[in-house]
């Protein structure tokens, strides 16, 4: 994380100077920040969150800082403040079923990793802030769309796993189909 990223994040703290002092003493230290003023956060279960993160990244869609909480197995996507209405509007427009999520806005808090967490720490940046994120009206749209798409993809993978619980079951089905097609 850059110095500008630290400045932006610490500005969201109830006491920005104390936050910066904590991170100066221990750059791995997690810190609790208020949501709603500078940013809002959408959290989902880790499996859906990692898939969504991967889809956003691979497709080059706009998204902001992203945090992973290993213990609670949740991923948090940072959005600009006042994104809730746009996010919900586009989430409801999607054809699939949206995943269960939590939207953290005013009077909520999020725990973030310090600027230099190590692998294995409870909190980890998947994408750390490098500066104050530029306002982008497409960020909540992209997140809503990819959350639903990722949830649908994972549901399909689960159904496939039920149908073919092992590689042997898949191979047996393929052999039976080949024998039926040849006969």
Pair 147, 99: CB distance under 8 Å: yes
Cα 56 to Cα 88: distance, rounded to the nearest angstrom: 18
- Percent of the residues in the chain that have a pLDDT greater than 90, as a whole number: 75
pLDDT in tens, 78-137: 999 999 999 999 999 999 899 999 999 998 999 999 999 988 899 999 999 988 777 788
Q: Residues 77, 82, 87, CA angle at the centre, nearest 5°?
A: 55
pLDDT in tens, 139-148: 999 999 999 9
Q: Which of 19-23, 172-176, 179-183 has the highest mean pLDDT?
A: 19-23
- Write down the H helix ranges in the chain: 3-11, 16-25, 46-59, 84-93, 138-163, 167-182
């Amino acid at each position: 994380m850059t110095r500008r990223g630290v400045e932006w994040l610490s500005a969201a703290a109830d006491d920005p100077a104390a936050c910066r002092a904590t991170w100066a003493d221990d750059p791995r230290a997690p810190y609790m920040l208020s949501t709603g003023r500078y940013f809002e956060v959408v959290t989902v279960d880790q499996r859906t969150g990692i898939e969504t993160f991967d889809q956003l990244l691979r497709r080059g869609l706009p998204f902001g800082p992203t945090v992973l909480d290993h213990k609670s197995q949740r991923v948090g996507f940072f959005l600009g403040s006042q994104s809730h209405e746009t996010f919900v509007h586009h989430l409801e427009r999607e054809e699939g079923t949206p995943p269960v999520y939590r939207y953290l806005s005013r009077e909520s808090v999020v725990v973030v990793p310090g600027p230099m967490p190590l692998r294995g720490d409870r909190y980890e940046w998947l994408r750390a802030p490098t500066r104050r994120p530029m306002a982008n009206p497409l960020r909540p749209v992209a997140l809503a769309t990819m959350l639903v798409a990722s949830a649908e993809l994972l549901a399909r993978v689960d159904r496939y796993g039920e149908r073919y619980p092992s590689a042997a079951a898949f191979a047996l089905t393929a052999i039976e189909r080949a024998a039926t097609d040849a006969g």
